[in-house]
Structure 1
């Protein structure tokens, strides 16, 4: 009787561990890391970007800097244009 109980415990633990590992691999493949890019520049105000930070307001863009690699994500993604800093622009 004791041998039967030990065998059942081993079978139950084996079954549970295989189910748990299959479930964990499924969860891992479903989870994806977010696509986030943070661009930090020094001595550049938010109105110095070549893209309009406030749509329709031409005062919020500049033609002085040419940064096509920074322009593309700004124009095709999400931009946060209303923030506060402890300095004037």
Structure 2
């Protein structure tokens, strides 16, 4: 087998794995949206949890997740720009 055939073979294997993982992700995301969308409401998203997190909303959890994301972006963005220069 020549090197071009091996490259095409491995490229096909990698693209097949990417397609499979994308399909699995889309199936899981679709199921989550299909089954969970009816349970979402503005009050669930905007109020604080009650009863030790067993009821109520998820507002503080969403806020802390966004803050963690901002800190990670603040650290990664300058590092990425510095590495690209």
Shorter-chain TM-score above 0.5:
no
Larger Rg: 1
Relative to total residues, which structure has the larger helix share, 1 or 2?
A: 2
Relative to total residues, which structure has the larger strand share, 1 or 2?
A: 2
Q: TM range, normalised to the smaller chain?
A: 0.3 to 0.5
Q: TM-score, normalised by structure 2?
A: 0.33
Q: Which has the higher contact order (CA 8 A, sep 6+)?
A: 1
